[in-house]
Amino acid sequence: VFLKAEAEECIAALPPHVLLQRIFVLFPDPWPKRRHHKNRIMQANFLQALADHAKSGADLCFRTDDAAYFSSAKAVVEAHPAWGVAPAPWPFERATVFQSRAAVFQSLVAMRRETFSKL
């Protein structure tokens, strides 16, 4: 299922029994100005909301063309107890409009840990 919606609202609206197996966050707004970084989606609270609705072993696939955002997002994922960066390949390639416009981009795949303590 593909859904175009405000991600945080969508996750919050999911019933508790709905569990996700694979989540894609593709080319989100990098909010490049430092004072706007608080608006970035890849933050601990969003990762926690995803973890609450993700099966154990679920994949979180993140891709961006902003190198600074990639570094920041990777650090947030690595620091979160529910997610670990996995040495997994990207699940498949289907170029988005943003990807086709990007000269370069970076990707990471994180895996939902089996057990974790909530933040």
Residues annotated catalytic, as ranges: 29
How many Å apart are CA 20 and CA 79, to the nearest integer? Answer: 21
What residue has token string 């795949």? 109
Q: Whose CA is closest to 82, among 98, 103, 60? A: 60
Q: Is 116 in contact with 44 (CB distance < 8 Å)?
A: no
Query: What angle in degrees, to the nearest 10, is found between the helix axes of 67-79 and 44-52?
Result: 60
- Two tokens, residue 23: 């989540």
